[in-house]
Structure 1
Amino acid sequence: MKKLIKELVEAYGPSGNEENIREIIKDKIEDKVDQIKVDNLGNLIALKKGKDSSKSIMLAAHMDEIGLIATHIDDNGFIRFSNVGGVSPYTLLGERIIFNNEIIAVIDKEGKLEDISKLKHEKLYADIGASSKEEAKKKVNIGDTASYYRKMDDLGDRCVAKSMDDRSGCALLIETINQLDDQPSYDTYFVFTVQEEVGLRGSKTSAYGINPDLGIAVDVTLTGDTPEAKTMEVGLGKGPAIKVKDRSVLVHPQVKNLMIDIAEKNNIPYQLEVLTAGGTDAGSIHLTRSGVRSGALSIPCRYVHSPSEMIDINDMKNGVELLVNILESDYGKAFE
């Protein structure tokens, strides 16, 4: 699984520019599912037909990563930018980024900064080594996007990389497809969504088209296990987290209880997650049409929305085991 995660997290794919990561995922799953398509917004939707087609489940993990977008190039070839998704200016100083999956840049700030709290995106610039606007525009143009330029590091049970949010979720869904021993109980849609980081957009359109009976988002969540972290129960290595609430959704109790029951029946370690800020694709899925029973399986992750997001590989393995057991169970009875 580490090899799979490495390939996914190191791929380029800021929100709105998911073509590259989508093709990588498509190549890995198209021979293992019954149908696969890309919808109008760019979501990759793969169907694995179930033994019973009377019900369906949608599993969603977003392909996009946070990024930057070029807004201005000055006469000396320095690039000004804005954020695409939740990128803090404090994580950008001295960082290397890559525009268009090709052009490397380093980020620095204007002049002296005596008060770090006053650091804003408009005080930063990207340097691609150009000496003039004309030279810079041969490589980068207004509207071009960039992501962090980082490799994955293997720390044993822990792995560190950019875009674990949410390529780790994509890896979890791919590995779930790989480990299904039989047909799932019901029609199962594995959806790799676009533009989650800018407003849960891909899950909104894909869920409307699928109209599932049950929706589960697979995404990362914050942890409370670092020095002076915000108090919360979730920590690395204690199992995947079954969401109870975040800012975008109050998880349907039938879905939460289903996930807990299956985890306990199969001796799969799990945690319960109450997230006071942030959201996942479940926020859009549960509001689709007349409403969809929805929940989320969360991967504990330290340093979210930084170039060095950290996960525990055991949480990933247990997350796959939980999803496989859900899909192979007669979960439809829980909603009758």
Structure 2
Amino acid sequence: MELLKKLTEAFGPSGNEDEIAEVIIGEIKNYVDQIRRDRLGNVIAIKKGKGIGKIMVSAHMDQIGVMVTSIDKNGFLRFTDIGYVSPYTSVSQTVVFKNGVEGIVSREEKKEIKDVKLGDMYIDIGASSKEEALQRVNIGDFGVFKSNFVVNGDRISTGALDDRVGCYAAIEAAKRLKETHADVYFVFTVQEESYLSGAATSAYAIEPDCAIVIDVTDTGDTPNCHPMALKLGEGAAIKIMDRGMISHPKVKNFLIDIAKNHNIKYQLEVLEGGATDGAEIHVSRAGVPTGAISIPTRYIHSPQEMVDIKDVNGAIELLVKALEEYRGF
């Protein structure tokens, strides 16, 4: 639990992942044979197997955030989103910039909340003039939403679970892996929330024989939500399809067989909106058979997301068994 808290509290909006990268390197370096950051900033940790191919595990380490676009004469900051940020969940939230400066997100009162867009919003850092504001922040500065790490029984809520919980699962899997047939490439990617850049370049360089993406997914268990056959606490999800890819049938069936053979509770996921690193990985070079293990998450892309630790532990167990038993297709 402490590791997950540490990961979610690290600063790392898309395109500014240095701090979270250092945290991940510190946590995984003693459990892998090689580790490096590539030119784009991805963390690539390799655990050597018996040399029967290469399998890539991808979890993105960036989080959604905001960027200052302009400052008016009264010191109010206009901003844009980095990754999708909803104006409705942002109102009255606190934004924290990399240097520690905090501000409150608010909106112009000329519009009803249902009509508000990010262009109608601003961040108030308590400055009374543009000159004063510029002493604290500048154009292009990155910020993230402030959150609290809350544990209620098996349920954990905090910000940046998308996808620090996937990073947590990959790190824990690396710690538990004893012996594998294939070389395992644990890749913690940059810029998934913005352009899927890290997945594209790392997959191209590694040229894996297979890939498994670890990311969050929506649920269908809150009042009057969009129908979806996923619930918190009912197990990790094995992806069938999302807006970025249809999981390769061999990878999907392999994961289902692993779950059944080891009595690991699982759900099947069809995500009608959203995509993962898999969208770029599966079409890299001549193509990579790609699937995904997803962690059901409520309130994705909000300052307080929620997961069930049973689903997280199930995802880790499924990933470990899959990596141990993978021998190519």
> TM-score range with shorter-chain normalisation?
over 0.9
Corresponding position: 1:322 with 2:318: yes
What is aligned with 1:121? 118
What is aligned with 2:64? 66
Q: Which moved more, 1:158-167 or 1:103-112?
A: 103-112
User: Displacement, 1:117?
Assistant: 2.2
What is aligned with 2:239? 243
Q: Which residue of the other structure, out of 276, 286, 293, is the alignment partner of 1:280? A: 276
User: Displacement, 1:101?
Assistant: 4.7
Corresponding position: 1:166 with 2:130: no
Distance in 2, Cα, partners of 1:94 & 1:318: 35
Q: Which amino acid aligns with 2:52?
A: S
Distance in 2, Cα, partners of 1:283 & 1:135: 44
Distance in 2, Cα, partners of 1:54 & 1:155: 43
Structure 1 residues not aligned, in runs of 5+? none
Q: Secondary structure at the match of 2:193?
A: helix
What is aligned with 2:257? 261
For 1:275-294, what per-residue CA distance to the aligned partner results, in whole angstroms no more than 9, with x for missing partners? 11100011111000000000
Are 2:47 and 2:183, in contact at CA under 8 Å, matched by a contact in 1? yes
For 1:224-279, what per-residue CA distance to the aligned partner results, in whole angstroms no more than 9, with x for missing partners? 01111111111101110000000100111000000000100000000000011100
Q: Which amino acid aligns with 1:62?
A: H
For 1:178-199, what per-residue CA distance to the aligned partner results, in whole angstroms no more than 9, with x for missing partners? 111x222210000000000012
User: Displacement, 1:214?
Assistant: 0.3
Corresponding position: 1:291 with 2:290: no
Q: Which residue of the other structure, out of 176, 181, 184, is the alignment partner of 1:179? A: 176
User: Displacement, 1:116?
Assistant: 2.1
Distance in 2, Cα, partners of 1:183 & 1:220: 27
Q: Which amino acid aligns with 1:291?
A: G
User: Displacement, 1:112?
Assistant: 4.0
Q: Secondary structure at the match of 1:141?
A: coil
Distance in 2, Cα, partners of 1:78 & 1:189: 45
Distance in 1, Cα, partners of 2:196 & 2:29: 25
Distance in 1, Cα, partners of 2:29 & 2:180: 17
Q: Secondary structure at the match of 1:197?
A: coil
Count residues with an aligned counterpart.
Answer: 329
What is aligned with 1:230? 226
User: Displacement, 1:322?
Assistant: 0.7
What is aligned with 2:98? 100
Structure 2 residues not aligned, in runs of 5+? none
Distance in 1, Cα, partners of 2:55 & 2:253: 16
Are 1:14 and 1:84, in contact at CA under 8 Å, matched by a contact in 2? yes
Q: Secondary structure at the match of 2:327?
A: helix
1:135-214 to 2 correspondence within 5 Å? Answer: 135-180=132-177, 182-214=178-210
Are 2:52 and 2:181, in contact at CA under 8 Å, matched by a contact in 1? no
Distance in 2, Cα, partners of 1:156 & 1:42: 36
The normalised TM-score by structure 2 is 0.98
Q: Which amino acid aligns with 1:268?
A: I
Q: Secondary structure at the match of 2:52?
A: strand
User: Displacement, 1:310?
Assistant: 0.4
Distance in 2, Cα, partners of 1:170 & 1:54: 25
Distance in 2, Cα, partners of 1:86 & 1:19: 21
Q: Which amino acid aligns with 1:35?
A: Q
Are 1:101 and 1:146, in contact at CA under 8 Å, matched by a contact in 2? no
Q: Which amino acid aligns with 1:193?
A: T
Are 2:157 and 2:305, in contact at CA under 8 Å, matched by a contact in 1? yes
Are 1:48 and 1:183, in contact at CA under 8 Å, matched by a contact in 2? no
Q: Secondary structure at the match of 1:217?
A: strand
For 1:134-163, what per-residue CA distance to the aligned partner results, in whole angstroms no more than 9, with x for missing partners? 111111000001100112111110000111
The normalised TM-score by structure 1 is 0.96
What is aligned with 1:49? 48
What is aligned with 1:134? 131
Are 2:52 and 2:327, in contact at CA under 8 Å, matched by a contact in 1? no
Q: Which amino acid aligns with 2:152?
A: L
